[in-house]
Structure 1
Amino acid sequence: MIEKTSSILPWLQSHHAVTLVTVIETWGSAPRPVGSLMAVRDDGLVEGSVSGGCVEDDLVRRVLRGEWPAQPQLVTYGVSRDEAARFGLPCGGTLRLLVEPLRDAGWIAELQARIARHELVARRLDLATGAVELVPSFRGDRLQFDGQTLHAPFGPQWRLLLIGGGQLSQVMAQMAPLLGYQVLVCDPRRQYRSGWEGLDVVWQEGMPDDVVVAIQPDAHTAIVALTHDPKLDDMALLEALKSPAFYVGALGSKANSQKRRERLALFDLGEAEIARLHGPVGLSIGSRTPGEIAVSILAEMTAVKNAIRPLAQPDSVGCHAGR
């Protein structure tokens, strides 16, 4: 689970008391997934969310009244239908939360540093002592709780490799981290290296097909080709479509996408592998601008990731970017 803890460290360093709330378990239609975090400062300032606004006010009131003990404590909201209605939990949803006072800023600084290095790391919390240990994690790792020990993974578990460094890639690189993606970019054309200042991306050196092989795509990896240069896009797609990547897409019109499929069929790809290609890329939302196209691509990626059947893409979408 990927969550930001950007404010917690400066709050602690400013000698504020901070309470961290983690979603441990949900039943019914819970607004936020397991692993979601919320930090509450001693003056009521909040970062994050555990219920989309349903129980946050009550948690803040209890922090301000000093109700929580010195050790981590479990609390459940929505056990009864009346309580679920009182807190605004939809469809009788129930949340089991872990409320923990934060005293040691050391592990938070280390966690943030390791996430900044794009590492996968898990936090282990001993409820009896409140002791925290950071251990290596892996893609696909999930929050685990056995009643005594919390194992909560952090870091870029989902990856997005963008082939091409143009404007659309830059817009996608701004949006994708908000959805939990670590963004990788490959473009051997040096003229496309400008304009990336301040964006949290990892540049991959080399030709796109070599980069696809080198990053070892897995079921948590998406690959999108955006250069409009068959020498770059097609070679990367050849490797991407043979990989376990959950999403492989390429920009272009229906006509160009059909020509691309015909070219790919000349190589060592089977029909099922070629059928995995999302092209024209993105959902059918009438997108024209780079921002709109980025939204349509990320929306389709989300649909595929969540096993939702995406809508068909009309011929006109994305055509402004080149046929």
Structure 2
Amino acid sequence: MTSAALAPDPELLTRARDWLAAGERVALVTVLHTWGSSPRPPGAWLAIRGDGSMVGSVSGGCVEQELAERYRSGQLGGGLPARVDFGVDRLEAGRLGLPCGGRLALLVEELSAAAPIVALLDRLEAGELVARRVCLRTGEASLHAGGGRPDFSADAQAVTKVLGPAWQLLLIGDGQLARNLARMARLLDYRVIICDPRELFADPEPLPDVDYSRLMPDDAVRAFCATPRSAIVTLSHDPKQDDLALSEALVSPAFYIGALGSKATAAARHERLLALGLESRQLARLDAPAGLPIGSKRPAEIALSILAGITAARNALAGGL
């Protein structure tokens, strides 16, 4: 593999582990900061083998080739992690394939052994949310619990990236709105589960890359939403289904919980959930009516509104707001 291929983090780490186990030199490149337009966000990874083979991506342009050549020739790597800047001016941006005027700050880190990568992969395979922290003063990489941390952070002391279970969206109730919301959420790399135990709502043409569940809604919340990287939205128009899901969702670690319906429907739901024993502080977590107020009427617009609300909550959790 001589050109960079976009790869999920576990796949990239597995490739780096195998290279290290075979005695190869390996560098891990991390996007630290971007200015202007940039195809890859902070936290994106690229792994480079000593012969210039690569997996992952940090720019989507020619930066990868430049990095590979410099690493192969010995200009990069060795010693402590080093910061490398690209695209400082318009001419450099064009030469490297960056959007015009864009800038990119990268951290180049030489991986010394396979064992730390094996330890990280073991924890990921066990379903843990893990924070990998690189101390810039010593170069030491350490593993920590990932809960309650932003996805990525970088300062003068350390660079920390959280890895683990994918962001996921559980939709209670199938139908046109659920399908629209599922399609949009897949574009943002959510794992989407549509749960509807009602026989009449079984979809004869299930969406590709979407999981379907016939569990009861409260069981589905327990099964799929055990991490803070979960969002739950009730869409069934059936209080029995929605209330089952919400009674469990509101005591779960999910970062977003929303319910479809009008303000009058939301008020009635609030009273029902209080009667079920939920507390006002728990009910305050519920976004109802779900989504940002954009005047939406059609199913696609409502889906857009809900996904915008989910995105705002996720960015706030990640420290992006």
TM > 0.5 fold call: yes
Moved more, 238-247 or 114-123: 238-247
Tell me if the contact between 2:83 and 2:106 (Cα under 8 Å) persists in the aligned partners: yes
Matches within 5 A, 1:264-283: 264=269, 267=272, 276-278=288-290
| Corresponding position of 1:19 | 27
Distance change in 2, residues 1:31/1:129 (3 Å):
same
Are residue 41 (structure 1) and residue 53 (structure 2) matched?
A: no
Aligned position for 1:32: 40
Distance 1:105 1:226, change over 3 A: farther
Q: 1:117 to 1:301 in 2, by over 3 A?
A: farther
Q: TM-score, normalised by structure 1?
A: 0.64
Q: Name the residue aligned to 1:100.
A: 109
State the partner residue of 1:248: 258
Aligned to 1:62: 70
AA of the residue aligned to 1:5: P
Residue segments in structure 2 that go unaligned for 5+ positions in a row: 1-6, 203-208, 275-279, 314-321
1:133 paired residue among 124, 142, 157: 142
Does the 8 A contact of 1:265 with 1:274 survive in 2?
A: no
The SS at the match of 1:90 is: coil
Q: Distance in 1 between matches of 2:308 and 2:180?
A: 20
Displacement of 1:58 in angstroms is 1.5
Unaligned runs of 5+ in 1: 193-198, 251-255, 288-292, 309-323
Cα distance change on mapping 1:104 and 1:200 into 2, 3 Å:
farther
Deviation at 1:146, TM superposition (A): 3.4
Structure 2 matches for 1:180-259, cutoff 5 A? 181=190, 208=218, 211=221, 221-225=230-234, 230-237=239-246, 245-246=255-256, 248=258
Q: Is the 8 A contact 2:258 2:286 kept in 1?
A: no
Q: Aligned with 2:272: secondary structure?
A: coil
Q: Structure 2 vs 1, CA of residues 236 and 45 (structure 1 numbering), >3 Å: closer, same or farther?
A: same
How far the C-alpha of 1:84 sits from its partner, in A, is 2.2
TM-score of the two chains, using structure 2 as the length reference? 0.64
Coordinate RMSD, CA, aligned: 5.1
Pair 182,119 (structure 1): closer, same or farther in 2 beyond 3 Å = farther
Q: Deviations over 1:205-245 (max 9, x none)?
A: 87528947x96886x54213366754223432466589985
Report the counterpart of residue 303 of structure 1 in structure 2. 308
Does the C-alpha gap of structure 1 residues 175 and 99 become closer, same or farther in structure 2, counting only changes over 3 Å? farther
Larger CA deviation: 259-268 vs 104-113: 259-268
Change (3 A) 1:182 1:133: farther
Post-superposition offset of 1:145: 3.1
Q: Which residue of 2 aligns with 1:124?
A: 133
Cα shift at 1:300: 5.5
Taking a change above 3 Å as real, the CA distance of residues 125 and 234 of structure 1, as seen in their structure-2 partners, is same
Q: Write the letter of the residue equivalent to 2:258.
A: V
